[in-house]
Amino acid sequence: MQDAGWRIEHRDRTFVLTTSNLAWRHFAQRVAFALLWLAGIMAVAVLVVVVAYVVLQGVKVINPEFLLTPPRGGLSGEGGISTTVVTTLYLVLLTISIAAPLGVGAAIYLVEYAGQMQGQGRLAYLVGVVRFGVELLAGVPSIIFGLFGYALFVTAMHLGFSLLSAALAGACLLLPVVIRASEEALRAVPRSFREGSLALGTTQWQTVWGVVVPAALPGIITSVVLSVGRVISETAVFYVTLGGSYNLPRSILSGGRSMALHLYYLAMDTRAFEKAMGTGAILIVVIVLINLIINFLSHRLAARLGGA
Amino acid sequence: MESVVKLEVQDYHLFYGDFRALRGISVQIPAHHITAIIGPSGCGKSTFLRTFNRMNDLIPGVRVEGQATLDGQDIFEVDVVELRRLVGMVFQRPNPFPKSIFDNVAYGPRAHGVHERARLAGIVERSLRDAALWDEVKDDLGKSALALSGGQQQRLCIARALAVEPQVILMDEPASALDPIATLRIEELIQTLKQKYTIVIVTHNMQQAARASDYTAFLMMDEERAGYLVEYGPTRDIFTNPRHKQTEDYITGRFG
Amino acid sequence: MRYIVDRSMRALLLVSALVSIFVVFLILVFTLRAGLRAFREIGLVDLLMGSVWRPGQEQYGILAMIVGSVFVTILAVAWGVPLSLMGAIFLAEVAPAWVRSVVRPAVELLAGIPSVVYGLFGMVVLVPLVRRIPVPGNTGFGLLSASIVLAVMILPTITNIAEDAIRAVPREYKEGSLALGTTHWQTIVGVILPAARSGIVAAVILGVGRALGETMAMIMVIGNSVVVPRPLASNPLTIVLSQARTLTGNIAVEIAYATGLHESAIFATGVVLFVLIIVVNSLARLLMRGRRR
Fold of the CATH domain C63-292: MetI-like fold (1.10.3720)
User: Do A5 and B233 make contact, defined as CB atoms within 8 angstroms?
Assistant: yes
Confidence at residue B254, expressed as pLDDT on a 0 to 100 scale: 64
Q: How far apart are CA C16 and CA C112, in angstroms?
A: 27
First and final C-alpha spacing in chain B: 31
Confidence at residue A120, expressed as pLDDT on a 0 to 100 scale: 55
A133, A151, A287 member nearest C112 (Cβ): A287
Share of chain B above pLDDT 90, in %: 51
CA distance C124 to chain A (A): 8
- Chain C: list its partners (3+ Cβ pairs within 8 Å): A, B
Domain ranges of chain C: 63-292
B 3-32 near C (Cβ less than 8 A): none
**pLDDT band for position A12 (cuts 50, 70, 90):** very low
Confidence at residue A14, expressed as pLDDT on a 0 to 100 scale: 36
- C2 versus B223: which is more confidently predicted? B223
Dump pLDDT digits (tens) for C15-36.
Answer: 888 888 888 888 888 888 888 8
Confidence at residue A122, expressed as pLDDT on a 0 to 100 scale: 62
Does this model's pTM top 0.90? My answer is no
Q: How many residues does chain C have?
A: 293
Confidence at residue A121, expressed as pLDDT on a 0 to 100 scale: 59
Domain annotation for chain B: domains and CATH numbers: 5-95+168-251 (3.40.50.300)
Q: Which residues contact C196 (CB under 8 A, 6 or more apart)?
A: C162, C165, C166, C168, C169
CA distance B31 to chain C (A): 20
Please say if the pLDDT value at position A38 is more than 50.
Answer: yes
Residue C152's CB is within 10 A of a number of other CB atoms, namely 25
Dump pLDDT digits (tens) for A88-97.
Answer: 999 999 999 9
CA distance A271 to chain C (A): 10
Please say if the pLDDT value at position B244 is more than 80.
Answer: yes
Average pLDDT, chain A: 82
Domain annotation for chain A: domains and CATH numbers: 66-306 (1.10.3720.10)
Partner A contacted by B139 (CB < 8 A): no
Calculate the alpha carbon distances from A164 to A157, A264, A299 in Å.
11, 21, 35
Confidence at residue A7, expressed as pLDDT on a 0 to 100 scale: 32
- The list of chain C residues with pLDDT below 50 reads 292-293
C247-254 and C260-292 are packed helices; what angle lies between their axes, rounded to 10 degrees?
140
Q: Which of A19, A26, A27 is the best substitution to test chain B (most B C-beta atoms within 10 A)?
A: A19
Q: Which of A16, A36, A286 is the best substitution to test chain C (most C C-beta atoms within 10 A)?
A: A36
Dump pLDDT digits (tens) for B14-47.
Answer: 999 889 999 999 999 999 999 999 998 888 899 9
Buried b (16+ CB within 10 A) or exposed e, B189-216: bbeebbeebbbbbbbebbebbbebbbbb
Q: How many residues does chain B have?
A: 256
B58, B85, B95 member nearest C176 (Cβ): B95
Contact call for residues A291 and A229 (beta carbons, < 8 A)? yes
Partner C contacted by B98 (CB < 8 A): yes
User: Do B28 and A2 make contact, defined as CB atoms within 8 angstroms?
Assistant: yes
User: Do A283 and C215 make contact, defined as CB atoms within 8 angstroms?
Assistant: no
User: Do A6 and B1 make contact, defined as CB atoms within 8 angstroms?
Assistant: yes
- A69 versus A116: which is more confidently predicted? A69
A47, A276, A280 member nearest C109 (Cβ): A47
Confidence at residue B185, expressed as pLDDT on a 0 to 100 scale: 87
User: Do B70 and A25 make contact, defined as CB atoms within 8 angstroms?
Assistant: no
Share of chain A above pLDDT 90, in %: 31
Complex prediction ipTM: 0.90
CA distance B168 to chain C (A): 12
Q: With DSSP H G I counted as helix, E B as strand and the rest as coil, what are the percentages for chain C, rounded to 5?
A: 80, 0, 20
